[in-house]
Amino acid sequence: MKNYKLKLKISFFLLSTFYFLLSIFLVDAQTAPRFLTTWRSYNYTPSWYAGKVMATRGSWVSVSFDFINNGKIVDLSKNKVRWYINDDLKRNEDDGLGIKNFYFGVDDYARDDINIRIVVVDYLNEQISRIITIPLVDSEVVIDAPYSGRRLPNGTNMFKAYPFFFNIEELSKLSFNWTVNGRSAESAFGIADTLKLSIDNLAPSGFSINIQATIKNLADEMEFASSQIKLNVK
């Protein structure tokens, strides 16, 4: 009987402790302020692309945030907000109070990812900060080769090159260069991003064909990208 009462007391103590700790956690979870951040880069991608537009060297990027407390957006119009890029202060209360948006250009010679630190200086007598990392990538080229098993039939074959993450607003700001097995090839019908390749009926089965597309920014010779694919004649 004594053992039973002892076990009952221990169980009651453990259960009480559990609910006490849980209540502390829930209160903390409800009251701890947090940042809801988003960023976007203004680089070129094909119209059908639904993924994240990544930043490259020379990109323009916008960052914004909302400040959440107790499940509600906090009005920061009277608070000091400071923005840093890699610990270098860029905007503060001298530019106005409650700054929730930041627009900046990535250095042309940047090597590392960009760390953005947002600091709300005086919220409920505390300084609350958040760091977000914006990864830097290189511009890319994707060649669309809609041929099963990378095997080309005899006759006319069409290829299209898609640029990603170039610092342009429209396709006309890019140059396209095609090569087939190392030799320059002309685009199809005067459309720079499209290659027309004719395979002769006498071409032996298994014959290897290497296609390369190189895209350059006409306004910035340092911004270019290439892609290569290998196919075989059926």
* Residue 22 confidence (pLDDT): 43
From the CA atom positions of the chain, what is the Rg in Å? Answer: 29
Number of H-type helices and E-type strands within the chain: 1, 17
pLDDT over 80 at 12, yes or no:
no
Q: Which of 4-8, 71-75, 91-95, 163-167 has the lowest mean pLDDT?
A: 4-8
Find, among 45, 124, 132, 46, the residue nearest to 79 by Cα: 124
Task: List, in order, residues 6 or more apart from 155 with CB less than 8 Å away.
Answer: 198, 199
Structural domains present in the chain: 31-134 (2.60.40), 140-233 (2.60.40.10)
- For 72-122, the pLDDT digits (tens) are 999 999 999 999 999 999 999 999 999 999 999 999 989 899 999 999 998
Q: At 197, which amino acid appears?
A: L
> Whole-model pTM?
0.80
Mean pLDDT, all residues of the chain: 88
